[in-house]
Amino acid sequence: MSGKRELTQNHVAQMLAGGSVEEAAARLRPDFTNLPHVPAGSAGVSLERAMTWWAEAGVAPEIHDVLLGGAADDLSRYEGNIENAIGLLRVPLGVAGPLRVNGLAAHGDYWIPLATTEAALVASYHRGCRLLTAAGGCSAMVLNESLSRAPGFVFDTAVEAGRLVVWVLEHFDEFHAVVAATTAHGRLIDVGCTIEGNHVYLNFEFTTGDASGQNMVTLASQAICDDILARCPVVPLRWYVESNLSGDKKACARSFTSARGKKVTAEVRLSALLIEKHLHTTARAMVDYWRMSAIGGVLSGTLGIQGQFANGLAALYLATGQDAACVAESATGVTRFEETADGGLYAAVTLPGIMVGTVGGGTGLPTQRACLELMGLAGPGKARALAEVCAGLLLGGELSITAALSAGHFARAHHKLARQRQHPEPH
C-alpha cells in the first residue's frame, strides 16, 4: 500500500510533467510581458455596458443572446445587485412540496422552489416534504434572532483596551439613537466585549426586521464606531469595522451558543406505517444509521451533526434571492432521530444561523420575487415564516437522505435520476 512519501513523489512527477524543477520554477515567476488592458469596473447595469465588456473579453456574437437569457430590455433591473454585468445565469428551477408547516410564524402548505443543477436533489426534498405533509405537518419555531457585527480596536496596552470597554458599557444606551439614524428597521440589542492583550473586540448584536441584514448592521456598526472615536477619551492606534469575530459567512462554534440570523427548530413524529409507505425503511434502521453518521461527524470534526443542510439551503437561497454565500454559516446545526415506543420515529432539526430575508438584497429581483410569491412569503412581515419553512424543508431532507442511506437506496437513486439519464450505459 502506498505511503505518503510515495504519493507525494507521484504528485511531484505529475506536476513536473517530465520537465525539471528549474523549468517549473520559471513558469511560476511573475510575467510582465504583454499585460492585457484591464477596463475600469462599473456598477452600472445596461445592455450597452454589457456589450462593452463583451468586446473587451472577445466574446463571440453567437453567445451574446445566451448570456442575456432573453432579458436585454430588462438588464437594468439588476443594478444595485451586480457589478461589471455581462448577462444572467440560468439555473434549472424545480419545486418540492407542498410542505405543511405548523409554525408560530409559518402556518400552512408551502410550495418550495429549489434552484439547482444537481439531479436527485429536488426529488429527495420532494419526498421528505410529502412525508411531513402526510404526517399532518412539522412543528417549527424561531427560537432566537440576532445578527452581529464585531468591530476591532488596537491600543498600546491592555489597560487602554480595558478603558474602552468600560466607556462602551457606560454609554451603550446612547448608541440606540446612533443606530436609528442609519436604519428604520434595525435595532441594537446587545454588545459583547472581548479583550485579548491590547486588542478589543466589540460584538454588536442587532435585530434586522424582515431583511437578512448584513449591510444594515455594517452601516450601523460603522456609525457606532464613528461615535466612539468622536467621544471616547481613549484613542485606538487602529480600528476595523469587522474583526472576524462575528462569524459572518463562516461555519463557527460561536453560533451554537447564540444565534446568527434566526435560530430555528422543527420536529415531527412519524408512524411506522408512514415510514414504510413513503421511505421504504423502518425507524430502527434510520436511527441505526443516524447514530453511526453522528459518530462519523464527530470523528471528522464537523460543526454540528447533519446530513445535507447545505443542499436544501443553497437551492432555496438561490431561488429566493438570499445571499448564497451565507450557506457557509446557515448550514450548521443538529439533526436528531429517536425510535418511539410504538416503532415510529421522532425527528428534529435545530439550526442556529438561518440567514434569510423577504425584503432587500436579491429578494426583489424578478425571478426571486416570483419564487417568494409562489411560497406566499414575499415582502414585509414574512421573514420569520420563511425561516420556519427553511427548517421544515431541511427536516424533510434529513428524513429522505437518512432513509435512502439506511435502506441502501442512495446510490441507486442517483444512478437512476442523474448518471443513467445523462450517460446511458450500453445494454
- CA 64 to CA 173: how far, in whole Å? 55
DSSP state of 386: H
- CA 347 to CA 267: how far, in whole Å? 6
Strands 93-103, 238-240: parallel, antiparallel or unpaired by DSSP? unpaired
Is residue 414 flagged as an active site residue? yes
- CA 313 to CA 84: how far, in whole Å? 27
Question: Residue 400: what residue type?
Answer: S
- CA 423 to CA 417: how far, in whole Å? 11
Q: Which of 126, 210, 388, 414 is catalytic?
A: 414
- CA 403 to CA 270: how far, in whole Å? 13
- CA 148 to CA 215: how far, in whole Å? 11
**What value, to the nearest 5°, has the Cα angle with vertex 313 and ends 80 and 390?**
105
For residue 41, count CB atoms less than 10 angstroms from its CB and return exposed for 0-12, middle for 13-18, buried for 19 or more.
exposed
Q: Which of 56, 118, 242, 288 is catalytic?
A: 118
Which of 414, 268, 396, 386 has the alpha carbon at shortest distance from 330?
386
- CA 342 to CA 270: how far, in whole Å? 10
Is residue 65 flagged as an active site residue? no
Give bridge partners of residue 193 from the DSSP assignment: 202
Q: Which of 160, 227, 267, 323 is catalytic?
A: 323
Strands 333-339, 304-305: parallel, antiparallel or unpaired by DSSP? parallel
Enumerate the H helices of 171-250 as residue ranges: 175-180, 214-231
Is residue 126 flagged as an active site residue? no
Question: H or E stretch including 347?
Answer: strand 345-354
Q: Report the SS3 class of residue 69.
A: coil
Q: Count Cα neighbours of 312 within 13 Å in the Cβ-side half-sphere.
A: 33
For residue 219, count CB atoms less than 10 angstroms from its CB and return exposed for 0-12, middle for 13-18, buried for 19 or more.
middle
Q: Is 265:103 a contact under the CB 8 Å cutoff? A: no
Q: Which residue has the cell 446612533?
A: 178
- CA 258 to CA 145: how far, in whole Å? 9
Q: Is 151:405 a contact under the CB 8 Å cutoff? A: no
Catalytic positions: 118, 323, 414
